[in-house]
Amino acid sequence: MTGGDEFGAIFDPSRSVVLVASAGTGKTWRLVRRYLWIVAGARPGTREPWATPEQVVAVTFTRAAAAQMRTRLFAALTHEGHDLDRDDDPVLAEIAALRSRDERLGLAERLAAAPIGTLHSYCARLLAEFPELGGVPPDARALEPAEQSLELDAFVAS
């Protein structure tokens, strides 16, 4: 399996993908499978994954969707191998064949540090890591929604 030929462009790690679709169409399922293929699949002709969890950026619009994505990734990586080897899910079946349970558990542990979140959380992470490049003070932080409202009210009133 190459990750691209059998499943379409979304599973081809050599291509960047932007997935836009309406609610309930399977975006999260596809993004989770793509992510799993990148970190637990293998480059053609090797056992080497395409990237580590720390090298893959998974961005969505809501905190709930990001949490759901992280939960689904963790669940897929921590299930027993026979649970993964399902005919109806060729990505999980391939990963079960490629990676031992210990390898998958190691990947699952690394998800905590992986950049999986909202667009806002990813930007905040970049600004925290590289404040000088963003032109922000080193102690800058994103405002919570209640703080945003107060700041907006103060700005409009002035």
Residue 98 lies inside a defined structural domain of this protein? yes
Say how far apart CA 95 and CA 40 lie, in whole Å.
Answer: 6
**Residue 155 domain-assigned (yes or no):** no
Domain-embedded: residue 123: no
pLDDT digits (tens, 9 = 90+) for 28-86: 888 899 999 999 998 989 999 999 999 999 998 889 989 999 999 999 998 865 555 55
Which of 46, 27, 49, 29 shows the shortest CA–CA distance to 107?
A: 49
> Measured between alpha carbons, how far is residue 101 from residues 73, 80, 85 in Å?
14, 7, 12
Q: CATH number of the domain at 107, please.
A: 3.40.50.300
Q: Is residue 124 in a domain?
A: no
Q: What is the pLDDT of residue 2?
A: 44
Query: Is residue 154 situated within a structural domain?
Result: no
Of residues 110, 119, 120, 122, the one with CA closest to residue 39: 110
Total domains present in the chain: 1
DSSP states of 114-156: S-EEEHHHHHHHHHHH-HHHHT--TT--PPPHHHHHHHHHHHH
CB atoms within 10 A of CB 73: 24
In terms of residue numbers, what domain contains 29?
9-114
Give per-residue pLDDT as tens, 81-123. Answer: 555 555 578 888 888 889 999 999 999 999 999 999 999 899 9
